[in-house]
Every structure is written in structure tokens, then in C-alpha cells.
Structure 1
Amino acid sequence: MGKRDEIVIDDPENPEWTAKDFARAKPSHEIPELAAVLRRGRPPLPEDARKQRVTIYLDRDLVERLKQDGKGWQTRANALLRKAAGL
């Protein structure tokens, strides 16, 4: 099979769209039930449960140590700070 060869699969449950189909199609955000199903990612957290973005300067060796354990180092740093603050 060459690069330009097409594989055509005839699926009666999913026919090829016609010009009429495209003309009456709507974006998913115009159909609330569909938009809710297609929404990606996690649902938003309540305002009081959201994290706050801050800029903090830490010693280089501390950041390197936190990153040694791999992905999720910022979450672990947050847990360590909460523990140190008695929260």
C-alpha cells in the first residue's frame, strides 16, 4: 500500500456526511447536554479549595532534592509546608 492509498470502510451506522448534514450541524457548545458530556478535564474546584499561584525563591539544593523524587514535587513541597506550619 502506498502513502496515498486510502482505506474505505463502509459503515451503515456511520454514513459519510452530506452537504445537508454539514448545513444543519451545530457546535457542541450550543447543545448543553452534549457539551456537558464532552467537557474535558476535572470539574472546577470550589473557590475556597483552589490553590493560589505564588512566586517563591528557594535554595537551589532544596529544589533539586524535591525534584529527585520525580513528578509531583510541587505537591509534596506543599504538603511539607503545610506540615511545618501545623496545618
Structure 2
Amino acid sequence: RIPKVVLPKYKDWGDILHWQLQENLPGSFPYTAGVFPLKRDGEDPTRMFAGEGGPERTNKRFHYVSLGQPAHRLSTAFDSVTLYG
């Protein structure tokens, strides 16, 4: 079994302090490993493009498409024409 977080095996206090200030654990300052302590399984958001029509239409489409999806979060990108050219 592979652990979710593997810590370095430093023995010198200077190395430990340097690691804590530069890297540290997930969910701890300076957040280089992410702002959440551990990512849960099934936390991936539903991904959608924005910009198809006005804001009201986009909001309605987001609600309609995400209805019944297991994810509670949306990850939106710009409209596809802007993104892909």
C-alpha cells in the first residue's frame, strides 16, 4: 500500500526547519502541496465551459447539466472559442 503523504527522513534540525518553511505537509503553510490536508476520493469537480450566451443562460445551463452529478463542485473554463482559438 502506498501512503498518501511521505515525509522526508531528515535528522538535522536545520533541514527540518528548512523543509517546513519551504514545503511542509499538505494543508499547512506555505501550501505548496495544496490547501487541503488530504484529497478525498471522488472529489473531482464537474468540468464545464462558460460563455455560451449571457450570464443568466450560463448559470441555468450549469445548474441543468450538474443536476444529479456526484460532484458538488464545478470547474469552469472560458468559452471554447477563446480557449482554443
Say yes or no: TM over 0.5: no
Higher relative contact order (CA 8 A, sep 6+): 2
TM bracket, shorter-chain basis = under 0.3
* TM, length-normalised to structure 1: 0.27
Which one has the largest radius of gyration?
A: 1
Higher helix share: 1
The structure with the greater share of residues assigned to strand is 2
